Amino acid sequence: MNKKGDIPGQDRVATVDLSEPLTFPAEAYTSPEYAAAEAEKLWARVWQHVGRVEELPHFGDYMTYEICNDSILIVRANDNRLRAYHNVCPHRGRRLVPVPKGSNGARGNSKAGRFFCGYHGWTFDLAGNNTDILNREDWQGALTEERVCLSPVQVDTWGGWIFINMDPDCMPLRTFLEPAAGLLDPFQFENMRYRFRQWTVFDCNWKVALEAFMEPYHVAATHPQLSKYGDFYAWSKAQGLHGNDGFDTPDQAAEDSAATTTVHRTGKGADARRMMAQMQREFWETVGAATTQVMVDAAERLVDELPEGTPAAEVHHHWLESCKKDYAALGVKWPDMSDQQMAAAGLAWHIFPNMSILQGPVFALYYRTRPYRTDPNKCIYEAVAIERFTEGGAPATEWQFKEATEENWRKVIAQDFSNMELVQQGLQSRGFRGNLPNPHQEQKVTNLHRNLASYMGTGAPTPLK
C-alpha cells in the first residue's frame, strides 16, 4: 500500500514519448485470470467516476456503483457532504441497498437519514455509524463501533463528477487526475448538466469498448460519411495516466490553434460556410451530441452572415463568436478560454482507467465502460451527453437501457459499436500476433496499456523492432 499522497510509480504521471512502434499482447482483453486480477490490482486501487453531483442534490439522496463484485453506496449526508461506503451490512454480509437486477445501479432517497438492513434490522446513519442492533448485549460487549459501522470508501469530486476510490491509502483525486484536470478545468464541466444518459451491455472487454472511442484513426473506415469534412488525421499523446488527441496534418505543419484542434474545425470543401453548417447538422443528427442546437443554428446562419470565399479559419472564428453571443442572449455563460487553452486540451481525452471525454465549451460527450462482474468478454457501456443550460433549463433525465441498435444510438455511435464484438472475437484468435497501435495516432491506446501494466505487473508495451 502506498502512503497517503504518495504517487506510486512516478512514471505514471509523467508524460512519456510513445512514438516508437510498440506492441502489446491480447491477454488484457481475453484472459479470465487477468480479469480476476484486475478487480484486485486495478479497480480496487484507482479513482473512478460513479456519476454526477447533480444526481445527489438533497440530504439522503443515494446511488450505488457496481464494479466487478464490489458495490459502492454513495450518499449525500449531513453537512451537505458526500460520503461513500461499501454496500454491505457488517452483520452477515447482506447487500445493504439492493441493486435491482438488470439495472446499472440503485438510486433513491433515504428520507429518514438512515439505512436499514432488511435481514436482521441493523441500522446505520448516513455518516456510516451503526445506530441500532437488536439484542446487542448478546455479543457481551464485543461489538465495537469500528466493528459494526459501514466500511468507508474515499469520495471526492471534480468537474461535477463524483469519484470513488476503494484504496484507503490512495493518492488525492486531483493528483490522480493531473495533468488532465488542469488542462480541462477551463471547460468548467461542473456547470454542465445531463442531456441524456444511456447504457447497454456488450460481449466484449471494457477496454475494447473504450478504445473504440480513443482515436480518430478509425474514422475513415468506420465513419466514411464523415470523410468529406476532413482527413481526421490526429496527434495522440500520453498525459501521465491519461491521454489526449487532436487534429493534425500528416506533415505536422498545422497551426496548433483551436481552429485546427477542435472537432468543429472546417476541413475540406470549397465553401467553408456551407461545410461548417452541414457538418454541424450532421453531427447533431447522427451523433446526437458533440455540439448543441444553439451551435447548429449559428452555423446555419454563416451563409447569410459571411461573403462567399471567406477563409475557413475566419468562418470558424465568426461562428464561435456568434455562438458566444447567442449563448449570452440566453443568459448562458460561455467559459473564458484562450485558443491556446483549447488547443492544449485538444479534441478528446482518455481519463484512466475507463472514461473517454470529447469536450467543448458548452458540451461534453463522454463514455464509461466497466467489466461486467469479472467476465473478460462482457462489459457495461454508458454514453452521456452533458451541456450548459439556461438556469433551470436542464431536462430531467434518468439512466435508460437501450439495445445497441442504430435507432437507439444514432448512426455514428452505432458504427462504432459494429466493431466491438468483432474485435473481441479476433483478439481470441490464436493467429493474432499482438496489437500494432499507430505510433502517431493511437498513443492514447498504447498509454492505457502502459499504465495498466504498471498496476497489473504484466502486459507492458514492448518495441516492435
List interacting residues with Fe ion (CB under 5 A).
Answer: 416
Is the distance from CB of 115 to CB of 96 less than 8 angstroms?
yes
Residue 445 CB, nearest distance to ligand FES (Å)? 44
Examine residue 174 and tell whether it contacts ligand FES (CB under 6 A). no
Out of ligand FES, Fe ion, none, what residue 91 binds, judged by CB under 5 to 8 A for its kind, is ligand FES
Residue 215 CB, nearest distance to Fe ion (Å)? 9
User: Which residue lies nearer to ligand FES by CB, 145 or 304?
Assistant: 145
Q: Pick one of 1, 33, 78, 92: the residue that binds ligand FES (CB under 6 A).
A: 92
Distance CA 8, CA 13 (A): 9
Examine residue 120 and tell whether it contacts ligand FES (CB under 6 A). yes
Examine residue 89 and tell whether it contacts ligand FES (CB under 6 A). yes
Out of ligand FES, Fe ion, none, what residue 119 binds, judged by CB under 5 to 8 A for its kind, is ligand FES
Examine residue 94 and tell whether it contacts ligand FES (CB under 6 A). yes
Residue 119 CB, nearest distance to ligand FES (Å)? 4
Paired residues of 349 in beta bridges: 244, 357
Residue 219 CB, nearest distance to Fe ion (Å)? 6
User: Which residue lies nearer to Fe ion by CB, 216 or 240?
Assistant: 216
Is the distance from CB of 65 to CB of 164 less than 8 angstroms?
yes
Residues with Cβ within 8 Å of residue 106, at least 6 apart in sequence: 62, 63, 64, 97, 98, 99, 100
Binding window for ligand FES (CB under 6 A); candidates: 89-97, 324-332, 342-350, 392-400: 89-97
Q: Show the DSSP H helices in 331-389 as ranges.
A: 339-345
Q: Pick one of 62, 65, 122, 194: the residue that binds ligand FES (CB under 6 A).
A: 122
State the amino acid at position 241 in one-letter form.
Answer: L
User: Which residue lies nearer to Fe ion by CB, 13 or 423?
Assistant: 423
Is the distance from CB of 204 to CB of 424 less than 8 angstroms?
yes
Examine residue 88 and tell whether it contacts ligand FES (CB under 6 A). no
| Window 313-352: residues binding ligand FES (CB under 6 A) | none
The per-residue b/e assignment along 66-84, b for 16 or more CB within 10 angstroms, e otherwise, is bbbebbbbbbbbeeeebbb
Binding window for ligand FES (CB under 6 A); candidates: 78-86, 115-123, 197-205, 354-362: 115-123
The per-residue b/e assignment along 272-285, b for 16 or more CB within 10 angstroms, e otherwise, is bbbbbbbbbebbbe
* Beta pairing class for 152-158 and 107-109: unpaired
CA distances from 303 to 270, 282, 285 (A): 13, 17, 20
Out of Fe ion, ligand FES, none, what residue 416 binds, judged by CB under 5 to 8 A for its kind, is Fe ion
Binding window for ligand FES (CB under 6 A); candidates: 11-19, 87-95, 252-260, 440-448: 87-95
One-character DSSP codes across 142-183: ---HHHHSPPEEEEEEETTEEEEES-TTPPPHHHHHTTHHHH
Residue with cell 497489473: 456
Residue 419 CB, nearest distance to Fe ion (Å)? 9
Examine residue 91 and tell whether it contacts ligand FES (CB under 6 A). yes
Out of Fe ion, ligand FES, none, what residue 94 binds, judged by CB under 5 to 8 A for its kind, is ligand FES
User: Which residue lies nearer to ligand FES by CB, 122 or 367?
Assistant: 122
Residue (of 199, 190, 184) closest to 52 by Cα position: 190
Binding window for ligand FES (CB under 6 A); candidates: 64-72, 86-94, 263-271, 285-293: 86-94
Question: How many CB atoms lie under 10 A from the CB of residue 334?
Answer: 17
User: Which residue lies nearer to ligand FES by CB, 91 or 402?
Assistant: 91
Distance CA 166, CA 391 (A): 35
* Interface residue list for ligand FES (CB under 6 A): 89, 91-92, 94, 117, 119-122
